Structures are given as C-alpha cells and as structure tokens.
Amino acid sequence: MDTEAIARERIDRLREFAREATVDGDAERARRYVRRARRIAERNRLALPTEFTRFTCDRCDAYLRPGANARVRLQDGHVVVTCDCGAQARYPYD
C-alpha cells in the first residue's frame, strides 16, 4: 500500500470515530479526531472527502449533526449549515 492510500483510509476511519464520538456526546474527542484528520490531509497534500467537509465546522472543528449541534436550511439553490459557534457554510444543490 502506498502512503496516499494509507492516509485516505486513516482519514475515513477518523471521520467514523468523530461521528461516533459526537453521537456519544463527547464533542471534544470528536474535535480531536477532526483536527487529526485535517492534519493528515495537509501532510499528504490530499483533499478531504466531500462527506468530511460537509459535516465539519471550519471554525471550531466540530463534527456536525443536524438538529443536535447544527442547523440546516434550504435557500434558493443552496444549503446553509450553521454550527453552534455561529459559523455558516453554503453548498449548492440542484
């Protein structure tokens, strides 16, 4: 296995761990997993998967769960995700 494949696998595992930690109510542990996954992507010059970027806050590194710590709204042609920290992310949809 090359280093890129190992890094991608580790990022996916950390995303799963962050989701599980958020479900269990341990937000700080989930933040550590998100920060570690971002650091691995930086070191290996990889883009984070879309499902990772859509469910993490860029400002506070929280793993977002709609209804629990994030608000999701649909507007004209885009989705607005608002974290508890106040950061907003907008994504287009068709």
Which amino acids are annotated as binding site, given as ranges? 57, 60, 83, 85
How many other CB atoms are found less than 10 A from the CB of residue 47? Answer: 8
What domain range includes position 34? 3-92
Per-residue pLDDT, 1: 79
Structure-block tokens of residue 64: 């977002």
Which H or E run contains 20?
helix 3-24
Q: How far apart are CA 62 and CA 74, in angstroms?
A: 21
Annotated binding site for Zn(2+), which residues? 57, 60, 83, 85
Q: State how many domains the chain has.
A: 1
Q: pTM of the full predicted structure?
A: 0.92
Give me the residues paired with residue 75 across strands.
78
Q: Taking the mean position of all CA atoms in its chain, how far away is CA 56?
A: 3
pLDDT in tens, 36-90: 999 999 999 999 999 999 999 999 999 999 999 999 999 999 999 999 999 999 9
